[in-house]
Amino acid sequence: MNEPASRRTDSWRSHALEALKRFDATLAPALARAARHSARRALPSGTPADVVVVRLWGLGNLALMTPLFAASRRSGQRMRLVTLERNRAFMRDHWPHVDVLGLPTPYRPAVGPAFARTLAALRRSPPDVVLDAESFLSLPTACVRAATPAPIVGVATPGQHRAALLDAPIVHDPHRHAADTFALIASTAGLALQSNELLTATDRALASVDALVPPTARPLVVLHPGSGDHFPGRRWPAARFARLARELRTLGCRVVVTGDRHERGLAAQVCLGSLGQQDEVLDLAAALDTAQLVALLARADLLVTNDTGPLHLADALGTPSVALFGPNTPERYGPRVVGSVALFAGLPCSPCLDERTAKASSCSTFECMQALSVERVLTSVRSVLARRRSRVPTETAIACRG
């Protein structure tokens, strides 16, 4: 896919997602008014045996829930997950005990009948409690509330009319990491989590990745220049990723570029721009399934990425990263693996993506990402790789601002 076509695809998907958020926001006040007439439902007195989790978008958010899924597997608890169908493969490969109630992407016509079937399933077999892991959407929560008598635990984000839909509302904290928020939702519902749980790659996927990227003594660095569906302004410029790839090659690193099928053009720009020869850097955009991406990140010495799903997969695996932030804040979504670095320019307008405004931004200049120089990123990369070689212990991930 060439660059203009890639941009058109990004624009269409981004605009469709923003339209869905506006539709939800339009309905939210009426949904909240209707919910105020119903009584609060009591939480289970003990540990719930049957749990439903609601989180539509975001493979990275599912990665941040690793301790929750691990706890349910350890306890034998029944767990169902309402999420987009495209997340099914990840859950099947890594958390097969979780029953996925999959939905098509909501801008597709099939989502209506699929959601109706999901709600009917919850009505036939209601859970003990619902963990609402959405942060600003109201319609999914309202529908689940209408379908089941189970109490709902979630975050009462200011300005999003969610409090009335929740039986155990949690105060929104803009400085609390998303993983801690998910853990707080779970503990409020009576679940016991262990924070040191890690995601693991499957043997099949590791063998497949080893065939594509044979192990050597040279450091393996993965570059992820995309940003998924939501807000392309989270992307560091492709030309800078290309220059970084060139510098990494001079350091003796093996460099792999990843991306989904909509990001093939973006990945090709990085590979071609790195040395003028596309085969100098391995382009695996759209070549890996989710299990293989997890395996590649498990094998990697370092991930350099924008604020998007692979960052959280790497974090769940224990792989260090240099994460590039601008519209979002690393306080909420930064890496927490020992030795990782989150780079954030801290401009007065940042962060502009916030749950309190349904993560909507009108920015078109992306100055916050432009403010991160190749030299600054390369310095962090050198530091992380040096620490990894020497295994110098550090207590926490490092956040670099300004």
pLDDT in tens, 36-52: 988 999 999 999 999 99
pLDDT category at 274 given cuts 50, 70, 90 is confident
Select the more confidently predicted residue: 159 or 231: 159
Tell me how far apart the alpha carbons of residues 355 and 172 are, in angstroms, rounded to a whole number. 9
- Asked whether residue 276 carries a pLDDT value surpassing 80, the answer given is no
Select the more confidently predicted residue: 109 or 101: 101
Tokens, residue 242: 């290309």
CA distances (Å), origin 392, targets 238, 270, 338, 395: 32, 31, 10, 10
If you average pLDDT over residues 85-100, what whole number do you get?
97
Phi-psi region of 178 (alpha: psi -120 to 50; beta: other; left: phi over 0): alpha
The lowest-confidence range among 95-99, 225-229, 312-316 is: 225-229
- Say what the pLDDT of residue 399 is: 55
Amino acid type, 124: R
pLDDT category at 229 given cuts 50, 70, 90 is confident
Place of tokens 């695809």: 9
Same topology between domain 42-188 and domain 203-401: yes
- Asked whether residue 398 carries a pLDDT value surpassing 80, the answer given is no
pLDDT category at 228 given cuts 50, 70, 90 is confident
* Percentage, residues of the chain above pLDDT 90: 79
CA distances (Å), origin 56, targets 27, 105, 128, 209: 18, 9, 20, 28
Q: Residue 42: what are its φ and ψ, rounded to 5°?
A: -80, 140
DSSP E strands, 289-378 = 302-306, 321-325, 341-344
Contact of 363 with 233, CB cutoff 8 Å: yes
- Asked whether residue 5 carries a pLDDT value surpassing 70, the answer given is no
pLDDT category at 401 given cuts 50, 70, 90 is low
Specify burial of residue 375 (Cβ count, 10 A radius: 0-12, 13-18, 19+): exposed
Query: What digits encode the pLDDT tens for the residues 231-272?
Result: 888 999 999 999 999 999 999 999 999 999 999 999 999 999
pLDDT category at 393 given cuts 50, 70, 90 is very low
pLDDT category at 196 given cuts 50, 70, 90 is confident
Output the DSSP codes for 26-47: HHHHHHHHHHTTSPPPPPPSS-
Question: In 3D, which of 137, 136, 178, 170 has the Cα closest to residue 151?
Answer: 170
pTM value is 0.92
Class in CATH terms, 42-188:
alpha beta
- Say what the pLDDT of residue 402 is: 57
CB atoms within 10 A of CB 204: 12
- Asked whether residue 102 carries a pLDDT value surpassing 80, the answer given is yes
Tokens, residue 363: 């920015």
Query: What digits encode the pLDDT tens for the residues 326-336?
Result: 999 999 999 99
Query: What digits encode the pLDDT tens for the residues 6-24?
Result: 455 556 777 787 888 888 9
Tell me how far apart the alpha carbons of residues 134 and 139 are, in angstroms, rounded to a whole number. 10
Give the chain's mean pLDDT: 91
- Residue ranges per structural domain of the chain: 42-188, 203-401
Query: What digits encode the pLDDT tens for the residues 352-378?
Result: 988 887 888 888 889 999 999 999 999
- Say what the pLDDT of residue 154 is: 98
Which CATH architecture best describes the domain 203-401? 3-Layer(aba) Sandwich (3.40)
Question: In 3D, which of 123, 122, 131, 120 has the Cα closest to residue 44?
Answer: 131
